[in-house]
Chain A
Amino acid sequence: MIEIEGVSFSYRTGEEDAVPALSELDLRVEPGRFVAIIGHNGSGKSTLVKLLTAIQYPTGGTIRIDGVPVDEENQWEVRRKVSVVFQDPDDQLVMNRVEDDVAFGPENLGLPREEIAQRVESSLGALGLREIRGRLIEDLSSGQKQRVAIAGALAMRPRFLILDEPTSLLPVPVAMRLVATIRDLNRRENMGVLHVTHSMHEASLFDRVVVMEAGRKILDGTPAEVFRHVERLRKVGLDVPLAASLAYRLRARGIHLEGDILDETDLRAALSAVRSGPQA
């Protein structure tokens, strides 16, 4: 369980121009949940990631992960509970070859050889990387590199996987396959996932969507609940998935569309019902 209670954070604390990056944030994420976090740049998403991974510490409030307070004293224990993957895999990959990079984390934990080998094996398998395990990382595509970064994070066997815009440099079909893989891991390993993204379409695939703005949580709910707030999201510079936006516009024209509309398939189904519905 991630418990964030009244957490604030300011960069350059103590100076007059301290900018609050987070203000009294409350957020609880149960184990095994699949949560998307959206918000534009500067909304506090990345600060939240830094606090959850003990890179920075709150200037107010507390964060506990499985009951362990996130502070300097517990930083190593915290980092065994959460693994993070960043936007650009080139910032994260340290070894030359795929399998060596995946082994890097577990080796630093000082685990027995067999345990390391077993973790590397299962992580490579989970990300579909077995066939390219011996390849040089510099020869991989950006999507493959991001898979290697996630395999490395997974090999740490974290309780929570924190993904900080891991898909923003990938073409959509590649990003979608990656999200599907992460979803699969989430279910099989009961590993909680917090996924920061700018893609509303991606966010609509999660169990829960948290919207950040100016260091605060402004919306929190299922995708259907959150993406109903078309005007509110637009006001803070965010989009909604195209199908949700179209449904909003068509309804405003007086066209009656049934149900929650989050993607093209929902839209087609709703339009199909309109077309075959009783003629007025």
Chain B
Amino acid sequence: MEDSAPPILELRHFGYTYLEGTPRASEAIRDASFEIRRGERVGIVGATQSGKSTIVDSFAHLLRVKPGQVFYEGRDIAEPGYDRARLRREVGIVFQRPDSQIIEDVVGADVAFGPTAAGLSAAETRERVEESLNTLGLPYPEYRLRYVHALSGGQRRRVAIAGVLAMRTPVLVLDEPMAGLDPRGRRELLELLFRLQDERDLTLIVCSASLTDASLLCDRFVVLDGGTVVMDGPVREVLREVDRLAKLDITLPEPVIGARELRKLFPDFPTDLLTEDELEAEIVKRIGAA
């Protein structure tokens, strides 16, 4: 059945130039069009300065977007009188540097900041803080009074995510969620995000220069290069275009890199592989067990 509801987010010929009209003007993105349906899990991927962050900022109305280009639930967010405060309650963004969005010294107070500012009661706020911290593997009784600055980078990122989660926004945007984390921190955060997807009806947008974790978290990739959308499709379909992806300055998943190399030996070797297990299975199929 055709879904007749408008997409939750939509870009129509979206373009943006920083410092427009000045000698330092730089065009970040041009003519980008795509829609995101409710419940979709989309990776917006591309090299640094490919336009990803500009798109993320446009979703939160952090930029002066031109009319007719960015729509939330079918409504133009740039039209006069549009309720931007409401948009920010609908689209939660976790930025790349957790420190840029943690504003309180103590974990519990930081996660409570959003709900309190939104005017929720103390009881409701407490409940949301507790739930968000528990969800992110920072048990409320143990962590609520901890100092943020004494936590590891991975834990601080989880506090930032908890702060956004406590707002219960239908859309969650994660900008480079894994950057700077060590392998253990990445694995832990990945597990938490999988669980979050299972438990909640979220529309998830992962913005990254790395396809490694995004390929596990998302169903679809929108690939940007030099400010334009160059590919848009299901994750595996995009990974089949490995030679095009390899020309961009992005991190390919290790199984995809391995598969690309093995294609020199086995021309029919598939490259749309997400895990080491899948790669191993394809090798065994061709070599056979000894």
Contact = CB atoms under 8 A, between A and B. Distances in A.
Interface of A: 40-42, 87, 139, 141-143, 165, 168-174, 198, 201, 237-239, 242-243, 245-246, 249-250, 253-256, 264-265, 267-268, 271-272, 274-275
Choose among B26, B152, B183, B260 the residue with the greatest number of A CB atoms under 10 Å from its CB. B183
Contacts of A141: 48-49
B283 interface: yes
Contact of B210 (A41, A87, A171, A237): A171
Contact of B183 (A171, A238, A256, A275): A238
B78 interface: no
Contacts of A249: 276, 280
Nearest to B259: A264
Interface stretch (B67-75, B102-110, B261-269): B261-269
Contacts of A142: 48
B115 interface: no
Given A169-B180, A242-B276, 12 more contacts: A141-B49, A171-B210, A174-B249, A198-B182, A242-B257, A242-B279, A246-B279, A246-B283, A255-B290, A265-B261, A267-B258, A271-B283
A41 B210 CA distance: 21
B5 interface: no
Given A41-B152, A255-B290, A271-B287, A173 B250 contact: yes
B273 to A, nearest CB: 11
Interface string B198-211: 00000000000110
B251 interface: yes
A173 B182 contact: no
B47 interface: yes
A86 B79 CA distance: 44
Nearest to B26: A139
Nearest to A39: B182
B163 interface: no
A237 B210 CA distance: 21
A253 B279 contact: no
A42 B47 contact: no
Contact of B287 (A139, A198, A274): A274
Nearest to B210: A171
B179 interface: yes
A274 B152 CA distance: 45
Interface of B: 24, 26, 47-49, 152-154, 176, 179-185, 209-210, 249-252, 254-255, 257-258, 260-262, 264-265, 276, 279-280, 283-284, 286-287, 289-290
A268 B258 CA distance: 9
Given A171-B249, A242-B254, A246-B280, A40 B183 contact: yes
Contact of A237 (B184, B279, B287): B184
A168 to B, nearest CB: 5
- CB-CB nearest 5 A-B residue pairs: A264-B261, A237-B184, A254-B290, A242-B254, A172-B251
A99 to B, nearest CB: 18
Nearest to A87: B180
B271 to A, nearest CB: 12
Contacts of B276: 242, 245-246, 249
A256 B290 contact: yes
Given A242-B254, A264-B257, A250 B262 contact: no
Contact of B289 (A198, A246, A255): A255
A266 to B, nearest CB: 10
A253 B290 contact: yes
B251 A41 contact: no
Contact of A246 (B153, B184, B252, B258): B258
B250 A237 contact: no
A242 B48 contact: no
Contact of B249 (A165, A173, A238, A239): A173
Contacts of A243: 258
A276 to B, nearest CB: 10
Nearest to B48: A141
Given A255-B289, A268-B265, A198 B179 contact: no
B183 A165 contact: no
Contacts of B154: 41
Contacts of A143: 48, 249
B46 to A, nearest CB: 9
Contact of B265 (A168, A171, A173, A271): A271
